[in-house]
Structure 1
Amino acid sequence: MAKGRNAKKLVSAKDQSVDALFGTRSFILDYYQRDYVWEEPQVARLVSDLSRKFLDQWSEEHALRDVQSYDPYFLGPYIICTAEDKVALVDGQQRIITLLLLLIYLRRQAALMPKASNKAGQLSTLIMTEQFGRRVFRVDVEEYRRCFNALLNGDGFDVDEARPDVRRIWNAYQYIDVHFPAALRGDVLVLFIDWLLYRVSLVAMDAGDRDRAEEMFQSINDCGVRLSPMDHLKRFLLSDAGSDPRELEGTWTTMTSALEGVEHGAALAYLRTVFRARFPEVTQQSGPSLHDATHEWVRTHEGKLWPNRRNGDRARLLTGVLFPFHDFYARLLRARARMDPRLPAVRYNAFNGVVDQFDLTIAALRPGDEQTDKERKAGMVANFLDLFYVTQTLYDEPAEQKDIDDLVSKVLPAVRLTESPDELGRVLADHAADWPARLERIPELSYDTKRRFVHYILTRLTAWVEMGATNGEVDPTDRFLMRRSGDRDFEIEHLFTSTAAKYAHKVPDARYYKYLRNRIGALLLLDGRDNGSYGGALLEDKLTRYRKDTRLAGMLNPDFLKKGNVRLREFLRAERLLDLVTTYDPSTALEPFIEARGRFYYEIAKRIWSLSAFGVVMPAGVGSVTPGRRTHYGVTMKDLVRDGFLRAGDRLVGYRRDQAYFARICSNGNIETASGVATAPTKAMEYAVGAASNGWAFWQVERTRERLDAVRQRYLDSAGR
């Protein structure tokens, strides 16, 4: 051994649960670490992977003690070192910061639930710790502290003035909120928190000192001698390329480079999409996971991918199946990130949290398709998924990624058999034939129960009117949905002020006034700067200023369509909407006005989300509901109250785990619970219990002891439906 030199310890490694990871000292970031760079796809994938792993094992009958036997989930390694008596993150920053944001999100959700208050306290100790008399976050970076504090406490934060990496951290939290499944809200949240803390693990690799850490960081991120899943898959597929594999290797490189140039990780995501689309039967069989071990999945199922395998089959998979569609997949990725006028619904689905939306499109494409045919097929599929999301959400039914996946698995076999866009359109239209009827719920939408969804609906309605008035010259949808750099969001504007006393002469009941002002018929979408300047002004005082906002806002003025706006007037007349335009003046009664405005929105929605608007062929008998394929009963609480099957004021009771929950039926068919007013039984159950399944089966009328689904069936039987 050289004189005066001590041998350094070997790099050590140990597994850690998430609880142990955040239960130690805080981490700092060293000078060579890159900024936080994760965007929505990476955050969404982490949330999706964790939630899927948990929900695949969870049952409503399970208690906390059952979670300890759930399968674990491995999040990979991270590297640390000791620098100036502090623990520095060398590699793994992206995952650990995102996990910290997830803990903050879970802590805020748990704090809203009395049954989860102890979990909120436990999470608080993992999110922050005390060092030398000051509270610090577990990732202790001065530039991130204000952002973390604002997220933890629900405070405001000036995102536009923040550094790009801080802005990405702020946005990552919002993406967690968007992609966090509804199925994990309510009582199940406590179980998920325990599973995350104790059954999700990482491996901590201790590099020792800073010099060794920097060396390891450079080796991992620059030299990269480890074979990735793509490397393994490439070697396997090119292994029977013949005597000269160079041409085939060039094909592989062209494909992967084009995809990675659009989005990091896109090449592997594309391969998985193709395998799911082309070999759905194989993906459902046991063995290695297509997502977690793609190359092992291909090797294991080779006999099913090529039942009578001949030399060259693996290479032909690359040249005949994978390569032909990669460029269009790259187009789809770009359309997901930025509005493509030929594929707008791809962007809509991304906004609504659909991470994986291209399986059906890839299943429908054929190598000989013209570009216009590819666009038509992709547009039909994207609109199909958008209509599913909208109509499911209107009826308080799940529309998470898992539900999208279930829908795709049902439709995919028929889609694979189609050749032309018209054939694809008939398959999709046949499956979705009854969905547009669900748009009847549009007038019942309320700001206080579905804010993000209401924002989306108002965006589509407002943009449709704008495009119609300009012959489609400009599509403002993306501007309405997404924040622009240095600007405020477009925001939901209440037509009527929150001060009920100002309209007491029209609606004396302050609670009912609050309910009315939150209905979608009393809402607009306006530029945030304008919206913020209106304050608590009366509607009659805002009408003149609305004229310079969107056309949907301007139409509230009685003279807006009489003086100018010729193209808008002609457009509305052509769409048979001109007579439905509702204007306002100081003498207008509020309730009829809001209801009429809601019906106007409904008529617009029918045109936006019609099957014919998607360019698909309407199947015979659309509008009739057959027992074998009915997707909903078409019966609302309002129908049952109106026709005397239920009474306004009737108390409802539901039992769950030996606890009784109560609600009351309003005169308009809504259901009032202790936590809010719902338009449907399932949503009322969610408000009352904190979780929801089938609200029609949950609630019964206390007076008659009859369940709501039985009342609904009596209504259907009486009408001969």
Structure 2
Amino acid sequence: MDISPDKQNIDTLFASTTYYIDFYQREYKWNRDPVERLLDDIFFKFNLEYSSREHEELIPSKEVVTAYYPWYYLNTYVTNVIEGKVYVVDGQQRLTTLTLILLKLYHMTKQYDSELMPWVERKIIGYSGPKKEFWMNHVKHISTLEGLLKSDEDLKKIPAKSGLGAENILANYAVISKWLDDDIRSKQKLETFIFYFLYRLVLINLTVEQTNVPMVFEVINDRGVKLKPYEILKGKLLGLVDKIDLDRLALNELWEAKVQAINLQNENEIDFFFWSFIRARYTDNKADFNKVSESNYHRVIFTDDFNKKLKLKNNPGAIKHFLQNEFTYYSDLYIRILTAYNQLDPKYPHVYYNQLNDQDTQFMLFMSCCRLNDEQEEEKIMTISAEMDRLFSLLRLQRAYDSNRFNDIVWEIIIKIRDADVTAYRYIFDTYLIKELNYHNEVNTIDKAFSYLYFKDITGKDLPSRFLRYFYARIEEFLAVGMKLKMKHTFSDLVTKTGSVNGFHIEHIIADNDENFALFDEDEELFYRERNRLGGLLLLKGRDNQSSNDEVYTNKLRSYANTLYWNETLRADTYKSKLDLLELIRAHQLNMRAIPSKFGPDEIEERHKLLAQIVQIIWN
């Protein structure tokens, strides 16, 4: 591998070479902090010398700055020449920022009527007849650069529709403009600084004379500000494709569109996508599954074991096929799921429910079960998300959930359902559900997904508070749908809001007082265990919860009016002229009735059994 170093000042750097931004480079992402650090470095050295010689009134010139101002090293940038074009492999953030400084200096030379204006302009653009070209050739953001070159009086009028890079160009130009206006207040200082900037700031250019730049790029990246794994992967894939094919097939545009859509709400989401996708589609055993992480997948897929399946290593043809097929389909699938994950979609409600329970492994399940361009995709998403919720919830509600074992179960299911037909899902999920129930109960006789025996003694203390709120939200939804009514509060509010005013909290129907204690024969252990059973709990909004906290049961009933539907089923007036509720009770043979006076151990058992009935309907 040949690397040729070349020391250059900025006058030489921007003189005759047009620099193109290679696909390995991320967007122009510098923000205020690195820009101000660069300005501070440059001006610290310059002002230190300028202030000591200001009284001498030296005429600005190359000779003066060469004699009195020490040179300053600005770092290294790496280029690669392909078909006569010079591509920036590493360093475009710094080179772009230097161009923005030159643009500001150009406008300042016009402001101070400096004869250096043409010289500075030629450091920004070059001319070939009437045609001009920016040395830093951000092809995508040319209209933004041209707007800045023409005028900087109103940055809001300059177009920035080409994306984040254009927005950052304008934002950083504003930072640079203010800095230079504050620091440079005379024509002499301006011209002295221009000579210093162009002659005494030095960079080292490394020209990589080979076509396998991605490896070089990753090595350089490891020594500097790290790129994200997906940015390195982009270089490794697109860097092997002939640039003619890249343009003809619009592969860079394809990549950027999918990344932008996936990263819409979280800039690291794309790394989670690749990690999930590779695990879901290309691992066949636990060892390979564990090899793949969010931080190393861009390396792992080129190892021998994974390359046997993906065939992407040094294979431009396979890369083009992968980007146009697997990458396109599964990224689109991921985007659809991600939308339903972040916001309740009536078509895929369980995707959102799983999000409320932090079950993001469902993404791997979806990508495993869906074949390329799968005609059953919609049905598979609906079914898998429902089965995932059912597995998680029924394990929780029967004291059979263990997070480590659950993760192992999900991995095994990922393998079992890969490309399988929808009709096989219930059997696969139930196999692992029943296996876990037997494991946690130390028996081998359980043969069904839900048993009152294992639900009977479950209490609020056995469940995480978030899942407990989720459980009552699902009960609320069941009643709302059955009564053909809208839910009074959103799922998100019921599950996630916990503030003292607008949040939702668990309420004991039986208050901790002597009157209720007597209902349990003064048995303290029995009293506290029974009042915590799910049949003895409700979900109430903050103020409602506070107002009913220590009241006797008959007074609590009053506070349950106009709260949640489940709470209101304790009240007699709930059943009057409520034909839809009565039909719901009849259709499912629910043992649901008002409990208007005493609420003791028998009533808790009754309500607990009623919940068991509803659980079996919801998570059938």
TM-score tier by shorter-chain length is 0.5 to 0.7
SS at match of 1:437: coil
What residue number does 1:619 align with? none
Equivalent residue, structure 2, for 1:518: 532
> How far apart are residue 532 of structure 1 and its match?
1.2
Which of 346, 352, 368 aligns to 1:347? It is 352
SS in 1 for 2:353: helix
Taking the aligned partners of 2:316 and 2:332, their CA distance within structure 1 comes to 27
8 A contact 2:361–2:410 mirrored in 1: no
| Aligned residue in 1 for 2:570 | 556
- Show CA shifts across 1:563-600 (max 9, x none): 122212212222221xx0143233x4611111111000
Compute the displacement of 1:534 (Å): 1.3
> Which residue in the other structure is 2:610 paired with?
600
More helix by share: 2
Counting matched residue pairs gives: 382
1:337 aligns with 2:342: yes
Q: Deviations over 1:174-226 (max 9, x none)?
A: xxxxxxxxxxxxxxxxxxxxxxxxxxxxxxxxxxxxxxxxxxxxxxxxxx975
1:313 maps to 318
Letter in 1 for 2:604: I
Instruction: Describe the shift of the 1:404–1:446 C-alpha distance in structure 2 as closer, same or farther (beyond 3 A).
Output: closer
Q: What is the DSSP-based 3-state SS (H/G/I as helix, E as strand, rest coil) of the residue aligned with 2:345?
A: coil
Partner amino acid for 2:530?
A: L
- Corresponding position of 2:271: 268
Please tell me the residue identity of whatever aligns with 1:590.
G
The answer on whether the counterparts of 2:368 and 2:418 sit within 8 Å (CA) in structure 1 is yes
Aligned-partner Cα distance in 1 for 2:539–2:391: 23
- Quote the RMSD (CA, aligned, Å): 3.1
Match of 1:538 in 2: 552
Deviation at 1:601, TM superposition (A): 0.5
Question: Are the equivalent residues in 2 in contact too, given 1:556–1:582 (CA < 8 A)?
Answer: yes
Q: What is the rounded CA distance, in whole Å, between the counterparts of 2:514 and 2:487 in structure 1?
A: 41
Does the CA-based 8 Å contact 2:430-2:449 persist in structure 1?
no
What is the CA-CA distance between 1:399 and the residue it aligns to? 3.5
CA contact (8 A) 1:516 1:594 kept: yes
Superposition pairs of residues 567-586 of structure 1, within 5 angstroms: 567-577=580-590, 580-586=591-597
**What amino acid does structure 2 have at the position aligned with 1:303?**
N
Query: Which residue of structure 2 aligns with residue 422 of structure 1?
Result: 423
Partner secondary structure for residue 358 of structure 1: helix
1:348 deviation in Å?
A: 2.5
Q: State the AA in 2 paired with 1:422.
A: T
Q: Residue 308 of structure 2 corresponds to which residue in structure 1?
A: 304
- 5+ residue gaps, structure 1: 1-30, 34-223, 611-721
**Which of 358, 372, 386 is residue 367 of structure 1 equivalent to?**
372
Contact kept, 8 Å, 1:391 with 1:438, in 2: the verdict is: no
Check 1:379–1:282 CA distance in 2 against 1; reply closer, same or farther (3 A cut): same
Aligned residue identity for 2:463: K
1 CA distance for matches of 2:407 and 2:290? 20
State the AA in 2 paired with 1:499. Answer: N
Quick check: 1:441 aligned with 2:454?
yes
2:582 alignment partner AA: R
* 2: CA distance, partners of 1:499 / 1:332: 49
Conservation of the 8 A alpha-carbon contact between 1:504 and 1:510: no
Q: CA deviation at 1:362?
A: 0.7
Instruction: Check if 1:357 corresponds to 2:335.
Output: no
CA distance in 2, matches of 1:384, 1:424: 8
Which residue pairs with 1:327 in the alignment? 332
Match of 1:412 among 398, 401, 414: 414
Code of the aligned partner of 2:400: E
Report the 3-state secondary structure (helix = DSSP H, G, I; strand = E; otherwise coil) of the residue aligned with 2:540. strand
8 Å Cα contact 2:329/2:373 also seen in 1: no
Report 1:119-138 matches (<5 A): none
Question: 1:278 Cα shift?
Answer: 0.8
The answer to whether residue 298 in structure 2 is matched with residue 295 in structure 1 is yes
Q: 1:323 to 1:270 in 2, by over 3 A?
A: same
Q: Partner amino acid for 1:275?
A: I
Change (3 A) 1:327 1:472: farther
* 2:228 paired with 1:228: yes
**What amino acid does structure 1 have at the position aligned with 2:449?**
P
The whole-number CA distance in structure 1 between the counterparts of 2:462 and 2:284 is 39
Equivalents in 1 of 2:581, 2:398: separation in Å? 32
Partner of residue 463 from structure 2, selected from 446, 450, 454: 450
Tell me if the contact between 1:493 and 1:525 (Cα under 8 Å) persists in the aligned partners.
Answer: yes
**1:289–1:297: 8 Å Cα contact kept in structure 2?**
yes
- Contact 1:363/1:412 (CA < 8 Å) preserved in 2? yes
Q: 2 CA distance for matches of 1:368 and 1:412? A: 18
Q: Distance in 2 between matches of 1:518 and 1:288?
A: 43
Q: Report the Cα offset of residue 521 of structure 1.
A: 1.2
* 1:142-183 per-position Cα deviation (integer Å, ceiling 9, x unaligned): xxxxxxxxxxxxxxxxxxxxxxxxxxxxxxxxxxxxxxxxxx
> Which of 364, 386, 390 is equivalent to 1:387?
390
User: Over residues 392-438 of structure 1, what are the superposed CA-to-partner deviations in whole Å (9 max), with x where a residue is unaligned?
Assistant: 333433442x434311221223311324x335455445555756224
Following TM superposition, by how much is the alpha carbon of 1:544 offset from its aligned partner in structure 2, in angstroms? 3.0
Task: Report how far residue 256 of structure 1 moved.
Answer: 0.5
Does structure 2 conserve the Cα–Cα contact (< 8 Å) formed by 1:283 and 1:290? no
Equivalent-residue separation in structure 2 for 1:232 and 1:367 (angstroms): 25
Distance across 1 between alignment mates of 2:402 and 2:480: 28
Counterpart for residue 619 of structure 2: 609
- Tell me the distance in 2 between the aligned counterparts of 1:345 and 1:390: 12
Q: Which residue of 2 aligns with 1:252?
A: 255
Distance 1:287 1:481, change over 3 A: closer
Alpha-carbon spacing, 1:525–1:430, altered in 2? closer, same or farther (3 Å): same
* Paired AA for residue 564 in structure 1: S
Equivalent residues in 2 for 1:33-44, closer than 5 Å? none
SS at match of 1:408: helix
* Cα separation, partners in 2 of 1:569 and 1:297, compared to 1, 3 Å: same
Give the whole-Å Cα distance in 2 for the aligned partners of 1:554 and 1:430: 38
CA distance in 2, matches of 1:307, 1:271: 16
The residue type paired with residue 380 of structure 2 is K
Taking a change above 3 Å as real, the CA distance of residues 288 and 539 of structure 1, as seen in their structure-2 partners, is closer
Identical pairs, percent: 23
Question: Offset at 1:505?
Answer: 5.3
Q: Which amino acid aligns with 1:397?
A: A
Q: Is the 8 A contact 2:553 2:599 kept in 1?
A: no
Q: In the alignment, which residue of structure 1 is the partner of 2:283? A: 280
- Structure 1 residues 355 and 368: alpha-carbon distance in aligned structure 2, compared to 1, 3 A threshold: closer
Q: What one-letter code is carried by the residue in structure 1 that aligns with 2:309?
A: L
Once the two structures are TM-superposed, the CA of residue 326 in structure 1 deviates from its matched residue by 1.5
Q: Which of 1 and 2 has greater Rg? A: 2
What do the CA deviations read for 1:71-124 (whole angstroms, capped 9, x no partner)?
Answer: xxxxxxxxxxxxxxxxxxxxxxxxxxxxxxxxxxxxxxxxxxxxxxxxxxxxxx
* In structure 1, distance between residues paired with 2:502 and 2:487: 24
Residues 364, 424 of structure 1: 8 Å contact kept: no
* In 2, Cα distance between equivalents of 1:540 and 1:311: 75
Cα gap change, 1:474 to 1:229, in 2 (>3 Å): same
2:204 alignment counterpart: none
